[in-house]
Structure formats: structure tokens, C-alpha cells
Amino acid sequence: MIDPKTYKPPQSKTVANPKSSPVATMPGPVPSQDRIRERAYELYETRGRTHGQDEQDWLRAEQEIIRRKR
């Protein structure tokens, strides 16, 4: 079972950009980790609390929240 209070999000990936700084992160609004954690847990519960898809839940929650902010 995923505990939303102790869940650690997947590490963000960085992309090298030779034209500016050596490392750049993805642009755009950054939602709060607390809100993402809550939504990821909601997705987990919706799926019947099945294990093994925590990263997919986190990424989906993040995308949903980013889309709502635009």
C-alpha cells in the first residue's frame, strides 16, 4: 500500500542543453508535491489499490494538475 505521507516522487529527469547551461529542466509551472501526492493516491485508490504503478500514478497526477493550471 502506498502511504501518501511518505511516498517519494520519481526523480526528475534533466536534459543537457549545449546552447545554454550544461543542464536544463523541463519548463512550465511546477505543481506542489503535496497536491501531486494527493492526486496520485486518489488514482491508486481508483485502481483498487493495486501495487506496482506508483510512478505512472505520480506522472499522471502531475500532468493532470499542470493541464488544469494552463
For the chain, the domains span 1-70
Q: What does the pLDDT read at residue 58? A: 96
Q: Provide the pLDDT confidence category of residue 39 given band limits of 50, 70 and 90.
A: very high
Identify the residue with better confidence: 64 or 14.
64
Q: What does the pLDDT read at residue 21? A: 55
Q: What is the mean pLDDT of residues 22-31?
A: 62
Q: Specify whether the CB–CB gap between 31 and 59 falls below 8 A.
A: no
From residue 20, alpha-carbon distances to 15, 24, 69 in Å are: 11, 8, 27
Identify the residue with better confidence: 32 or 7.
32
